[in-house]
């Protein structure tokens, strides 16, 4: 009898604490682990795609793509993507919806990542000065998470202070780098302006000199941030833009990245390609320019617009193919009363959007030389 009750107590105890146990299986990486991925990427001349997700459909499709190519993946939430994750109807005046959405999304990814078996670098995207309350809220939740699990909730947050003077950009970035370093996370900063339009920020009219980052600016950021730690990556501008435009409208100059790397290597006597660069606005880019940028230390390429198109394109093609079965609940070419349930079931057409995301991401992995890059971290 006694043994039996001990058994009952033990199982109850185990079940009660199960939510804590799942996290040991999470494949969301810390900076120390992501460092090994970035080092491997630089040594073997590849980069990983970073996909902006807005819900479980895009998260699952991204993880599926990583599993298909047997490589780690970078998944990220933009500020508005995060609030969309929590629900478009929610008030976001104090950034509450964006904080809750990003945290909920992050926890979801921690929970499901093991099902897909591939490491995940979990990031958040552009945060300009006015969005600092969003970042502060996520860091607060991240600190609570770190206390319980001894690992970070996110791998990285991005600050985009490219609209501010360089000195202010770096001064604020240093403060955040200190906080993220303690949580074994990394910081992404932006130097120079990514052209185009994304997430409500319109840089289509910015004068073209600002679209090309200067080596002196990168060197200044590198020197100052290194005083805190090496937990940072740099989004630099080399003519890249958010969005997709007709060919010839975008003039990519990856050599800008090389100039910065060489300048820093000489000035601080570092190894070659000392900076980890991020390529924003990867959608619609010429594969040759992508390869060249990787040679100059790009380890992460953001892809958002092409993924937005992919989900729509998948659903649109499905609709066109099955149009006659999608006009009413009953009635199609096989009979006036024939049911159409299996055509309009949202699992069927949302799945078409998911597989289309997967296919576009597999293409991105291939263009980034990033397939079969699973390493032990």
Instruction: Quote the Cα angle for 371-376-377, to 5°.
Output: 110
Question: Minimum distance between the CB of residue 355 and Zn ion, rounded to whole angstroms?
Answer: 26
- Alpha helices (H) in the chain, listed in sequence order: 2-16, 18-21, 31-43, 56-69, 79-86, 96-116, 132-149, 166-182, 215-226, 255-268, 287-295, 305-321, 341-344, 346-367
Cβ nearer to Zn ion, comparing 111 with 199: 199
Give residues 163-202 in contact with Zn ion (rule: CB under 5 A): none
Dist. CA 174–CA 181, nearest whole Å: 10
91 among known catalytic residues? no
Check: CB of residue 159 under 8 Å from CB of residue 180.
no
Cβ nearer to Zn ion, comparing 27 with 252: 252
Cβ nearer to Zn ion, comparing 112 with 361: 361
- Closest residue to Zn ion in the complex (CB): 280
Give residues 279-298 in contact with Zn ion (rule: CB under 5 A): 280
196 phi, psi to nearest 5 deg: 80, -160
By CB under 5 A, residue 373 contacts Zn ion: no
Cβ nearer to Zn ion, comparing 306 with 354: 306
Cβ nearer to Zn ion, comparing 231 with 280: 280
Which residues is 186 bridged to in the sheet? 156
Q: What is the chain's alpha carbon radius of gyration, rounded to the nearest angstrom? A: 22
Q: How many residues bind Zn ion (CB under 5 A)?
A: 1
- The Cα-based distances of 326 to 55, 309, 311, 315, 348 in angstroms read 25, 22, 18, 12, 12
**201-203 and 195-198 beta bridge pairing:** antiparallel
Question: Minimum distance between the CB of residue 264 and Zn ion, rounded to whole angstroms?
Answer: 22
Check: CB of residue 242 under 8 Å from CB of residue 279.
no
> Which member of 39, 125, 184, 324 is catalytic?
125
Cβ nearer to Zn ion, comparing 111 with 197: 197
Dist. CA 241–CA 372, nearest whole Å: 28
Which residues is 191 bridged to in the sheet? 236
Question: Minimum distance between the CB of residue 367 and Zn ion, rounded to whole angstroms?
Answer: 18
Question: Minimum distance between the CB of residue 25 and Zn ion, rounded to whole angstroms?
Answer: 31
Dist. CA 87–CA 81, nearest whole Å: 10
Give residues 252-281 in contact with Zn ion (rule: CB under 5 A): 280
Dist. CA 349–CA 343, nearest whole Å: 8
Question: Which tokens go with 119?
Answer: 């490491």
Contact set with Zn ion (CB under 5 A): 280
Q: Which residues are known catalytic residues?
A: 125
């Amino acid at each position: 009898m006694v043994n039996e009750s001990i058994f009952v107590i033990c199982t109850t105890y185990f079940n009660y604490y199960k939510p804590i146990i799942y996290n040991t299986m999470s494949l969301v990486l810390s900076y120390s682990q992501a460092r090994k991925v970035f080092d491997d990427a630089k040594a073997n001349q590849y980069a990983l795609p970073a996909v902006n997700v807005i819900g479980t459909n895009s998260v699952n499709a991204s993880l599926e793509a990583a599993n298909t190519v047997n490589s780690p993946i970078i998944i990220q939430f933009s500020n508005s993507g995060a609030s969309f994750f929590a629900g478009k109807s929610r008030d976001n005046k104090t950034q509450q919806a964006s904080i809750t959405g990003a945290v909920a999304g992050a926890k979801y990814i921690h929970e499901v990542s093991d099902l897909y078996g591939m490491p995940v670098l979990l990031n958040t995207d552009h945060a300009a000065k006015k969005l600092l309350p969003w970042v502060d809220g996520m860091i607060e939740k991240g600190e609570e998470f770190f206390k319980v699990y001894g690992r970070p909730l996110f791998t990285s947050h991005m600050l985009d202070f490219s609209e501010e003077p360089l000195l202010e950009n770096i001064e604020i970035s240093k403060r955040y780098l200190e906080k993220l370093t303690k949580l074994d996370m990394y910081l992404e900063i932006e130097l120079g302006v990514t052209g185009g339009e994304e997430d409500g920020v319109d840089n289509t009219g910015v004068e073209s000199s600002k679209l090309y980052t200067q080596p002196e600016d990168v060197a200044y950021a590198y020197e100052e941030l290194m005083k805190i730690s090496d937990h940072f990556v740099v989004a630099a501008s080399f003519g890249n833009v958010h969005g997709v435009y007709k060919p010839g409208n975008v003039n990519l100059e990856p050599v800008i990245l090389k100039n910065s790397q060489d300048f820093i290597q000489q000035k601080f006597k570092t190894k070659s390609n000392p900076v980890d660069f991020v390529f924003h606005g990867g959608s619609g880019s010429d594969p040759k320019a992508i390869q060249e940028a990787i040679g100059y230390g790009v380890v992460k390429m953001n892809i958002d617009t092409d993924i937005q198109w992919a989900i729509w394109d998948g659903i649109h093609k499905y609709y066109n193919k099955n149009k006659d079965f999608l006009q009413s609940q009953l009635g199609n070419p096989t009979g006036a009363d024939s049911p159409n349930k299996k055509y309009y079931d949202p699992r069927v057409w949302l799945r078409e959007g998911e597989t289309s995301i997967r296919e576009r991401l597999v293409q991105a992995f291939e263009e980034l030389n990033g397939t079969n890059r699973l390493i032990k971290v």
